[in-house]
Amino acid sequence: MAGPLRAALALGLLAAAQPAPAQPAPAPGQRRQAELFLEKYGYFGEPGAGTHSPAEFTEALRDFQRVTHLPLSGVLDAPTLHQMAQPRCGTDDGESRAVGTRRPSAARRRRRTAQHGGRWYKRHLTYRVVNWPPYLLQHEVRLAVRAAFELWSNVSSLVFWEVQDGPADIRLTFFHGDHNDGLNNAFDGPGGALAHAFFPRRGEAHFDSAERWSLHSGKGRNLFIVVAHEVGHTLGLEHSPVKSALMSPYYKKLSKDFVLSWDDILAVQNLYGKPSKGSAIQLPGKVFTHFQDWNTDLYGRDQQQRSLSTYYCHSYFDAITSDADHNLYIFKGSHYWVVSASGNASDPQPLERHWPGLPAGIDACAWSQLSGKFYFFKGGRCWRYAGSTLEAGFPRKCSARGLPRHPDTALFFQQLRRLVLFKGPKYFVVSEETLAVEPYYPRSLRDWQGLPPGTAGALTHRDGFVYFFRDDQFWKFDRAKLQVVATGKWATQLPWMGCWDANSEQVLF
């Protein structure tokens, strides 16, 4: 719906435009500069078209004047030259110039979705600030970036998650001058193009590190508004011809108005839908000029109400495993949660519903990649389910065959094609057929270099690593090197654990 509405709004604004006063002809150098400018910002269609006829030039100028709400003189007059010299976004004006008197052709519209705009096919996206502008406080920049993403997530179904290292869907980077995006995209020092970004699913926004960035209302370029705008591009939004839009190519100013205009909101909802819970929330732009006064108390107050759906994120769980579709199963008390491969956590479900007869508070669980069955351990007993069916002969007294009572963790270990039970300083390798401990086991946990005793659960992730969990920590185990290669806090550092709410409550500084 955003397309026609955008067009209508642009036309409304056009009608209000006044005819231009007569202007002296521009110097030849100015004309060439204007031509290069219009080329860079996509006013001649495909780049590299060479020189342009006077008619093409006039047409391009009128398109630019339409997008920037100048009188449609088609002449390189003083207001147009002035407008071209203003700081702006370095991303081209693509389709926004096509809105107005001409209806975008079918081919153009196709290009908009296929190549130009594009979208993400998931709702949970990670972002990372790769480096920092030199003279701003890092925690203020981090708050501003978070608020910039929140603008978009508050009005759509998107959810964002900051990661502090490693890969991320969207990366924000500060660069000097030429930075391998092509000469057209080289940064130009203070003024001119302040930043640019790529459409999905490249996930890159670049900022000119030579700008005097600021997070306050006074001097300098407001980094918050520029980040918020560039994030819009990384989500698939193009420049908007609506003057009050955040996605206008000339960055808007913070005022008592909302940062996002209707046009921005409709455009993002057109791609990703409305927010799933509650309605769209917006704050007046002025609020975002005081990041120095923000603190997490103020910010996190209404997040106190922790959602039940991710209750496991804020406490410890009993056991965890994953299945063939990379769904995670997290067990706690008499409930379990399923976290899909997209990182979406289900509401808590009663254990009984999926595994009739299973008691609450299990010690360990493993899903077997060999048989596709779920194994549960509690006390000295074990249960085996094919789907929701408890197999004949279960529950059974597994401790009678040498398995440890109250195992800490169970894991199907692909390397051995066996179940492994961990208990204190030892581990036991168990055959699925006999459910008996294999010869020469138990052995010392030292074989699992770097792994602490007493883990709560483990799973093999689709990245090929085995992850062990204990309290709020995880250990990432390399199956080839047979050693722990990383450790950290699972709720905030492993997006696939589904703890998006936990992350937003994270203390930021």
- Applying CB under 6 A, the residues found at the interface with ligand NAG are 123, 147, 150-151, 154, 281-283, 302, 342, 344, 346
Does residue 501 have a known ligand-binding role? no
Strand partners, 55: none
Cβ of residue 465: shortest distance to ligand NAG, in angstroms?
A: 24
Instruction: Round to whole Å and give the CA distance between 5 and 25.
Output: 36
- Closer to ligand NAG at the Cβ: 137 or 283? 283
Reduced DSSP (H G I as helix, E B as strand, rest coil) percent helix, strand, coil of the chain, to 5: 30, 20, 50
Minimum Å gap between C-beta 149 and ligand NAG is: 8
d(Cα 478, Cα 450) in Å, to the nearest integer?
11
Is 89 annotated as belonging to a binding site?
yes
Q: Which of 95, 140, 230, 505 is catalytic?
A: 230
Please give the structure tokens belonging to residue 108. Answer: 């153009």
3-class SS at 266? helix
For the CB of residue 464, give the shortest distance to ligand NAG in the complex, in Å.
Answer: 24
Q: How far is the CB of 19 from ligand NAG (least distance, A)?
A: 40
Going by C-alpha positions, the residue among 460, 165, 139 that lies closest to residue 324 is 460
230 is catalytic: yes
CA distance to 158, 185, 271, 272, 495, per residue, from 123 (Å)? 5, 29, 11, 8, 12
52 is in an annotated binding site: no
Shortest distance, CB of residue 231 to ligand NAG, whole angstroms?
11
Smaller CB distance to ligand NAG: residue 269 or 346?
346
Rounded CA gap, 485 and 412, in Å? 20
The response to whether 410 counts as a known ligand-binding position is yes
Q: Is 320 annotated as a binding residue?
A: yes
Pairing relationship of beta strands 159-162 and 124-129 according to DSSP bridges: parallel
Of 321, 117, 151, 116, residue with least CA distance to 224:
151
Q: Which is nearer to ligand NAG, 30 or 342 (CB)?
A: 342
Could you give the CA distance from residue 180 to residue 189 in angstroms, rounded to a whole number? 16
User: Closer CB to ligand NAG, residue 232 or residue 404?
Assistant: 232
**Encoded tokens for 181:** 């995006």
The tokens describing 251, both together, are 């960055």
Binding site annotation covers 233?
yes
Q: Which C-beta is closer to ligand NAG: that of 226 or that of 398?
A: 226
Alpha-carbon distance values, 331 to 250, 318, 365 (Å): 51, 5, 9
365 in a labelled binding site: no
Query: What residues are annotated to the active site?
Result: 230
Q: Which residues are annotated as a binding site?
A: 89, 169, 179, 181, 188-189, 196, 206, 208, 211, 229, 233, 239, 247, 318, 320, 363, 410
Residue numbers belonging to the annotated binding site for Ca(2+): 169, 188-189, 208, 211, 318, 320, 363, 410
List, as residue ranges, the binding site for Zn(2+): 89, 179, 181, 196, 206, 229, 233, 239, 247
